[in-house]
Structures are given as C-alpha cells and as structure tokens.
C-alpha cells in the first residue's frame, strides 16, 4: 500500500504554517546568485504551489495521507 506524503510547516513563519501540503515532486532549483538546491514541490488544498528547500527540513514534518485524514497534524511550535 502506498500513501501520499504531506509536508507541514512547524515554524510560525513558515508559509501556511500548520497546514498540510501534498508533496508532488522533488526538483533542483537555482535561485539567482545562489547555488542549486533540491526542493520539495508542494501543493496546498487551495491550489497554491510552493517550493521548499530540503535544507529547511528542520522547520517541517512529513506526514502520511492517513495522518491528514485523522487530524494528526503537527503543531506549530517555534
């Protein structure tokens, strides 16, 4: 059995902190003037898309589709 994976921002300044976003992919992004970095491609329920650098993963938790369905959403703690 496989489930979708969701990213939840746990830092109070994370974009849409505390709201699960489906991880729809992983890609490499090169911001202007910076080095290339791997990022999660995520999509929120409202249709908004975002890129989250893997290097920022200490501000996020990955949870399962079942966790989302049962309301087991990590708290915003920082």
Q: What CATH number has the domain bearing residue 10?
A: 2.40.10.170
pTM for this model (two decimals): 0.90
Q: Which domain range does residue 50 map to?
A: 5-69
Judge whether 35 lies within some domain: yes
For residues 43 and 45, give the distance between their C-alpha atoms in angstroms, rounded to a whole number.
7
Judge whether 39 lies within some domain: yes
Q: What is the pLDDT along the chain (78 residues), one digit of tens a residue?
A: 899 999 999 999 998 999 999 999 999 999 999 999 999 999 999 999 999 999 988 999 999 999 999 999 999 986
Which helix (DSSP H) or strand (DSSP E) does residue 67 occupy? helix 65-69
Beta-carbon contacts of 68 under 8 Å, excluding residues fewer than 6 positions away, are 6, 20
Judge whether 75 lies within some domain: no
Query: Strand, helix or coil at 56?
Result: helix
For residues 58 and 11, give the distance between their C-alpha atoms in angstroms, rounded to a whole number.
9
For residues 70 and 40, give the distance between their C-alpha atoms in angstroms, rounded to a whole number.
24
């Amino acid at each position: 059995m496989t489930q979708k994976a969701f990213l939840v921002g746990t830092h109070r300044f994370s974009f849409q902190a505390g709201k699960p976003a489906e991880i729809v992919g992983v890609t490499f992004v090169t911001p202007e003037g910076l080095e290339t970095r791997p990022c999660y491609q995520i999509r929120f329920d409202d249709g908004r898309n975002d890129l989250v650098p893997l290097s920022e993963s200490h501000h996020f938790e990955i949870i399962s589709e079942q966790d989302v369905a049962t309301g087991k959403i990590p708290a915003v703690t920082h």
